[in-house]
Structure 1
């Protein structure tokens, strides 16, 4: 099953792709207006779901005793492609194997050799495993870039982040990050309902606070930094959007 991510998760993935080692939870938390504990909890969830599969160093092998980095474009039988990819990964000198959705040239193998004799040895071992090397090239340089669609949008920073998900029948589920000066901040859900901030037809499904995921009831108080999931059976009422965003934004009539 696909793992659904929201805007907070996207921003986390963006920063991890930019610099996983140098990215601190408080930095992301400040950008998306949640607590650092929420960011750490989200990272753990992304890891457990297999979205974040690991953290790897980007190494310039050429700077180490003049080693060579080469890429082999190989063809493998489709029915044994994955098995061969695993076997190739055990060959000394292989640092990366990519499986491609293609009938031919369906494996990309990146290798590091101490010299040309060593890379020739790796090529022979690949051939012995049963793959055909169609092309080989020395990797001159390699750069990695974050996925821009997960990055921050241009323009002034927003005080609240919300993520819409449409469900069957026109209903919507929205995740709000509660602003410090939002109308609902400091109120219990029962109070918010009495004052009209939470219409009768909507349901607060969960509240994520730091490392905890709360099951809300009428006595639950909404706090700044909470990530609140709200279900609406119809199109989201504008008054609900205003309740979770800061007073200035609501007064100006501008929303994200």
Structure 2
């Protein structure tokens, strides 16, 4: 089953792509109004599902005694592309390999060498593997930026809704985060139903709290930072959002 990412996951991916070393779970938790334990749990899920595949240092090899970084644009037989890519990764000096869905120029290989003779040796090794080198380019600089759609949108007001999924037949599954001062915070599901915070025709499917995924019952007490998934047989009632969104505390 494909892992479905929500707003919490997108925020994590954005910040880790921007600066994984200096971004902490509490920093991300504050942005999406959940607990740091929930962030750590989501990171583990993203890793286990192969969405986060590793953490890598961005190294300026030229600054380490003037090494040369070169990108080779290669053509390989489509049927052998993955095998040649695997062999290329194992070649001494190769630091990055990209397979492209193209008939021509379908393999990009980045290598670091001590000098031009070392780069020539890498080129020879790639040719021996069956790669036809079309271009060799010296990499001057390289920079990265996180994927903007995963980042914060200053034009959108904060919302308790974290994910929304339509199901065949008109049913919907909505994921909420319990905001501070939300009406449902500190309330059991039984009391929330009695007080009209949760309508009779919807079902609380799960409550994610830090590392724990709670199977809810009437006695389950909802806490600030919980991620609550709710099933509605029809379009979910708009008033349900108010139960999870932050409410202005009374000054009386």
TM superposition score category, shorter chain reference: over 0.9
Q: Which residue of 2 aligns with 1:226?
A: 226
**CA-to-partner distance for each residue in 1:5-54, whole Å, 9 max, x for gaps?**
00000000000001111110000011111111110111011001110000
Inter-CA distance 248–201: structure 2 relative to 1 (3 Å threshold):
same
Whole-angstrom distance in 1 between the partners of 2:52 and 2:248: 37
**Residue of structure 2 equivalent to 1:171:** 171
Paired residues for 1:56-205 under 5 Å:
56-155=56-155, 158=158, 160-205=160-205
In structure 2, the residue corresponding to 1:12 is in which secondary structure?
A: helix
Count of residue pairs brought into register by the alignment: 249
Alignment of 1:201-216 (within 5 A): 201-216=201-216
* Structure 1 segments unaligned to the other structure (5+ residues): 250-256
1:17 and 1:48 map into 2 onto residues whose CA distance is 17
Post-superposition Cα deviations, 1:91-133, rounded to whole Å, max 9, x if no partner, equal 0000000000011110000000100000000000000111100
SS of the equivalent of 1:59 reads coil
SS in 2 for 1:206: strand
Post-superposition shift, 1:172?
1.0
Is the partner of 1:247 in helix, strand or coil?
coil
Shift of 1:227: 0.3
**Alignment gaps of 5+ in structure 2:** none
Instruction: Give the secondary-structure state (helix, strand or coil) at the position aligned to 1:162.
Output: strand
Offset at 1:160? 3.0
SS at match of 1:2: coil
Contact 1:33–1:159, Cα closer than 8 Å, also in 2: no
Q: What TM-score does the superposition give when structure 1 sets the normalisation length?
A: 0.94
The 1:141–1:247 alpha-carbon spacing in structure 2 relative to 1, beyond 3 Å, is same
What is the deviation of 1:150? 0.4
SS at match of 2:95: strand
* Aligned residues of 1:33 and 1:179 also touching (Cα < 8 A): yes
Query: TM-score when scaled to structure 2?
Result: 0.96
Counterpart CA distance in 2 for 1:111 and 1:152 is 35
Shift of residue 156 of structure 1?
A: 7.5
Decide whether the 8 Å contact of 1:172 with 1:233 is kept in 2: yes
For the aligned residue pairs, the C-alpha RMSD in angstroms reads 1.4
Q: Structure 1: which 4+ aligned runs deviate by more than 2 Å?
A: 155-162
